[in-house]
Structures are given as C-alpha cells and as structure tokens.
Copies of this chain bind each other. A is one copy, B any other.
C-alpha cells in the first residue's frame, strides 16, 4: 500500500481500514453482503477528500484491512492495488451531498424485496416506530421516514446524478433504495452509518413481513 507523503497520517487510514473490514464481516454475517455484493466507505480526510473504499468483487466476509483502497474525489485509486468498487462514484456523491463521514450499501432479502414492491410509489414510508429514534436528528417515534426508491442503472455517472437529485429533493431521508438492488445509508462516521443500516434493515423487514397483515396506520 503506497501512500504519498501528504497521507503520512496512515495510522488514521490503517485504523479506518481495520474498522471497515470488521464492519464488512459483521454485515456479511447478517446476510447483507452475500456473493461479494455491497460496499463500504469512510472518509479519511475531508478536504481535499480522501475516501477509504472496499474493493470490487471481494468476498466481504473475508475482507481484510490490507484490501481497503484509498481514493480521491475523482475516484482515482491512490494506494495502488485492486480495482475499486463499481459504485465508488455513488459513495462520493453521497459523501458530498450529505457531508457524510461514511457510506454503507447492503443487499438484504428485505431491502431488495421492498425496493421492488414499492417501486410504483417511488419510495417506502415508515412511521411510528420507536426504532426510528436511532436515526440522527429524530427525537420521537412520531416521525415519518421516507426512503426514496431510485431506478437501477449500470451507468454510474447517470445514477450518481439521479441520486444527487433525489437527495436534494429529500433532505431528511436517512437512506434510499435502488430498485431490485439494495439499500444505501450513511452517517457522520462508520459507527453512525452502521447504526443507520441496522435500523433501516430492521424497519424494512418489519414492513415486509406485515404487508399482508392488518395494521394500524402502517
């Protein structure tokens, strides 16, 4: 791993890389990063932006700190090594739009199912759950969280642009779904992003399992 002298604060990168690898193993163990799917990032330096990023095509259950890449705001890999995740541009877009310190992307059964079932509505509304209080800035269960659903594309630049528009239109959303693809969430740091992912995955599962059951104002 070659870092330029300007990134001599490699102990910070090493720590972040280790945390990303640990988080990847934990999320994989929950079934949310199967088959090399998903990706994880965390900001090493905000200005100019340096982002630690999971590599492409790697089993996230076996991800090591040594495999973590360092990219700049143009998605160029600085520390040699593997090819970055295809979705690096999306992480960069979210970091910029939300001033996030970390972005996590999971493929779970329930987030995938709901991203399709609610596609016509272009989003999923979740309200009234105490669990919502774990989302940054939410102080009461009487909160309505809107998770937009964005169409999936292979053109990452076009998709990043669509994400920018949706994040601008929905400044209070703590995450969004890509159709038949997965969930994106973020936080001021990896810990908060991880907490948001856990909360949103929980709520999506609760919604998914009650789609056919009578509910009060679900």
List chain A positions with a Cβ less than 8 A from chain B.
Answer: 26, 31, 34-37, 59, 61, 107, 109, 112-113, 116-117, 119-120, 128-131, 134, 139-141, 152, 154, 178, 180-182, 191, 194-196, 198-199, 201-202, 205-206, 208-216, 218
**Is the Cβ of B112 less than 8 Å from the Cβ of A129?**
yes
Known: A109-B206, A212-B212. A182 touches B117 (CB 8 A): no
A116 and B35 in contact, given A130-B107, A154-B141, A180-B128 (Cβ under 8 angstroms): no
Question: In the complex the two chains form, is B199's CB within 8 Å of A112's CB?
Answer: no
Complex contact A35–B199 (CB within 8 A): yes
Q: Nearest residue in B to A207 (C-beta to C-beta)?
A: B113
Contacts of A201 in B (CB 8 A): 34
Instruction: Report Cα–Cα, A216/B115, bound state, in Å.
Output: 10
Instruction: With both chains docked as a complex, state the minimum distance between the C-beta of A196 and any C-beta of chain B, in angstroms.
Output: 8
Provide the residues of chain B in CB contact with A212, threshold 8 Å.
Answer: 212-213
Residues of B near A199 (CB, < 8 A) are: 34-35, 37
9 residue pairs of the A-B complex, CB under 8 angstroms, read: A35-B131, A35-B195, A107-B131, A109-B205, A117-B210, A117-B213, A130-B180, A141-B152, A141-B181
Tell me the nearest residue of chain B to A153, going by C-beta: B141
CB A102 to nearest CB in B, in angstroms, measures 14
In the complex, are the beta carbons of B154 and A215 less than 8 A apart? no
The reply to whether A113 and B195 form a contact with Cβ atoms under 8 Å apart is: no
Q: How far is the CA of A109 from the CA of B181 in the complex (A)?
A: 23
Bound-state CA distance A198–B152 (Å) is 21
Flag if B117 contacts A206 (CB, 8 Å). Answer: no
